[in-house]
Structure 1
Amino acid sequence: MKKERPLIILNETILPGERKTIYMEIAKLHTATKLKIPIIIERSKIDGPTVLFSAGIHGDEINGVEIVRSIIVQKINRPARGTIISIPVINIFSFVNQTREFPDGRDLNRVFPGTKKGSLASQFAFHLLKDIIPHIDYAVDFHAGGASRFNAPQIRIAPQNEELKNLAAIFNAPFTLYSKNIAGSFRNACEKLNVKMLLFEGGKSLDINDDIAQEGINGAKRLLEYLNMLSPKHKVQPIENPTIYISKSSWIRAKRSGLFHDYNKIGCYVKKGVVLGSITDPFGKFEQKVKAPNDGYIINANHSPIVYQGDAIYHISNELLQNDEERSEN
């Protein structure tokens, strides 16, 4: 078998068969404290692809961090061939403060590809793409729902990309959503550099959910097995229910402000008219039922106890790919 060549990242050389943690340092805290982003690299002696597992682009999405941490702790990131690079916390500045945005107020996931002399977030995006991504073949970027919104475990891919659809089927999250790449996003920037990226969403911000984490871990193992990179020491959970592809979805918004009671339909297939939750006032004057506007899967639910009129409270599928719709009803 062909042996791997030396890998050089951030002026650090990682030899075939070597494991090393290197650090990216773009800026210090305002206290002059150094803030280094650990990049954990595991290489096989055998030639193969390079896979990136990353999380924490938004510093409050801790569930993604937990997934990558678990991949490292369970030694899933030790490849039978090729290289696995793990970055549990990309946006360590915001992780320290448990916030979504960079200290400069910008969303890191909207400033790619960044610039060398721009804002702090822009500089960080620039160096991530310049120093890390050129070495990557495949990537899974782990996220969670923001603003108290809980995402059912799902993979998001750009439409009309058969290779990503195949990878999503292999990862096999309960749902796969077709969503266009957003300008300035990490996913969009990676696609332009020919990196095959799956974006995983699951759980909510400032929370760790073990079931969601396990879905991410299982998917990562399936992907590595497909690439012949998974160590024989690790077992892959058999696929019982293939992922459900969702081509269109919409948000259900609150018609009134008040206390919100969710009836826990996340991940379920519901029929039109089913009551998903209710909105009440604090004084016992009214109760308004929130009903499903159409048949579909509930793929996101707002877990905030208080909502305002117009707030997004449920995300429901309203169109499945035909073959997947037939399969989901069996």
Structure 2
Amino acid sequence: MSEKEILHILGTKVALGESAKVSFNVAKLHTQNTIDVPIIIERSKKPGPTVLITAGIHGDEVNGVEIVRQIIAKGINKPKKGTIICIPVINVFGFIHMDREFPDGRDLNRVFPGGKNGSLASRVANKLMTEIVPHADLILDFHTGGADRFNAAQIRIVKNEVVLDELAEIFGAPIIYYSKNLNKSFRNTCYKLGIPMLLFEGGKSFNIDKTITNTGVNGTKRVLDHLGMLKSNFKVSKPKKSCVKIVESKWIRANHSGMFKPNKSVNTIIKKGDVLGHITDPYGSFNHFVKAPNDGYLFNVNESPIIYQGDAIFHISTKLES
């Protein structure tokens, strides 16, 4: 086997046909205990693309972690050709503490590409970008709606990218949401390097939703099958419904604080003036109707029973791709 067919990653050599679990060791806890982030590598004997599958950039996004866990547990990550690298929990610090951010208070997804002498989050971003990402030909990154905001299953990509459009349609999530790459995000940094990424969003923090996880796992199988990497013992299902492509959208924010009860769910077509929910007070003296400002497709609903004025409560499309 030639040297170029050997994967050199985090000080470990992984040849074609081999499996490995390597440690993404960045820092210790304040108790001096080492925190190791396991990276699961599976290589076919047959050369092919390298797909990186990640989750847990935010420590509270357990739904994404569960998707990657299932991919590993079911053996979907053992390719017919090429290499699959899985990182189920990137922000293991936040995952341990059930916190979105790093112990230094930073959002990992806002510090890329990071620096080797920066903050803890910055160092993790830097190591990910220098030692793992350069090996990837495609990245599938799994996320979850923040706090109590429940995201419909969706793939987020930038507009007018032929490769991303094709892969997003193959993934088969109910929604493709065209959104700009955020500065210093993982997605934007990989985009600048020319590495395509499908960012999956679905569900809400601290929650595992079966429909969302099934969508993520099935979408991954479709993409791997398209690349010729999925073993023949796995069935590939067709998406249950046609894809909605959202070009522009807006958040409806609460005009009042109080107790909140939505009466529309995600993946719903709404009309201008439809009552989407109610904001009330604990004393029965106040009842505010939240109405849709325009026709659109509802793809995020805040499920928190208590909200404050200005909170984002519904995310609806304002422009769909015809």
Name the residue aligned to 1:10.
10
Conserved 8 A contact 2:6-2:16: yes
CA distance in 1, matches of 2:122, 2:185: 12
Name the residue aligned to 2:277.
277
SS of corresponding position for 1:25: strand
Listed one character per residue, the Cα deviations across residues 78-110 of structure 1 (whole Å, up to 9, x for unaligned) are: 100000000000000110001111110000000
Conserved 8 A contact 2:93-2:103: yes
Conserved 8 A contact 2:251-2:313: yes
CA distance in 2, matches of 1:234, 1:19: 20
Conserved 8 A contact 1:3-1:46: no
Report the alpha carbon displacement of residue 4 of structure 1 after superposing the two structures with TM: 7.9
Gaps of 5+ in 2: none
Conserved 8 A contact 1:64-1:144: yes
Listed one character per residue, the Cα deviations across residues 58-90 of structure 1 (whole Å, up to 9, x for unaligned) are: 000000000000000010001000000000000
Listed one character per residue, the Cα deviations across residues 221-254 of structure 1 (whole Å, up to 9, x for unaligned) are: 0000110100001001123423211000000011
Gaps of 5+ in 1: 323-330
SS of corresponding position for 1:188: helix
Conserved 8 A contact 2:176-2:246: yes
CA distance in 1, matches of 2:117, 2:238: 48
Name the residue aligned to 2:121.
121
Conserved 8 A contact 1:3-1:16: no
CA distance in 2, matches of 1:72, 1:295: 41
Report the alpha carbon displacement of residue 264 of structure 1 after superposing the two structures with TM: 3.7
Name the residue aligned to 2:99.
99
SS of corresponding position for 1:8: strand
Runs of 4+ more than 3 Å apart: none
> Counterparts of 1:219-258 in structure 2 under 5 Å?
219-258=219-258
Listed one character per residue, the Cα deviations across residues 32-67 of structure 1 (whole Å, up to 9, x for unaligned) are: 111000000000011110001100000000000000
CA distance in 2, matches of 1:287, 1:55: 40
Conserved 8 A contact 2:140-2:198: yes
Conserved 8 A contact 2:173-2:239: no
SS of corresponding position for 1:125: helix
Conserved 8 A contact 1:4-1:82: no
Report the alpha carbon displacement of residue 295 of structure 1 after superposing the two structures with TM: 1.1
Listed one character per residue, the Cα deviations across residues 270-307 of structure 1 (whole Å, up to 9, x for unaligned) are: 11111111000110001111111111111100011111
Name the residue aligned to 2:28.
28
Name the residue aligned to 2:143.
143
CA distance in 1, matches of 2:10, 2:212: 33
Report the alpha carbon displacement of residue 3 of structure 1 after superposing the two structures with TM: 12
Name the residue aligned to 1:328.
none
Name the residue aligned to 1:267.
267
Query: Structure 1 residues 204, 156: CA separation in 2 closer, same or farther (over 3 Å shift)?
Result: same
> Counterparts of 1:130-209 in structure 2 under 5 Å?
130-209=130-209
Letter in 2 for 1:195: I
Letter in 2 for 1:66: E
CA distance in 2, matches of 1:175, 1:72: 25
SS of corresponding position for 1:48: coil
CA distance in 2, matches of 1:239, 1:177: 17
> Counterparts of 1:67-106 in structure 2 under 5 Å?
67-106=67-106
Name the TM-score, length of structure 1 as normaliser: 0.95
What is the aligned residue count? 321
Name the residue aligned to 2:290.
290
Query: Structure 1 residues 272, 65: CA separation in 2 closer, same or farther (over 3 Å shift)?
Result: same
Report the alpha carbon displacement of residue 124 of structure 1 after superposing the two structures with TM: 0.7
Name the TM-score, length of structure 2 as normaliser: 0.98
Letter in 2 for 1:88: P
Report the alpha carbon displacement of residue 137 of structure 1 after superposing the two structures with TM: 0.4
Identity %: 55
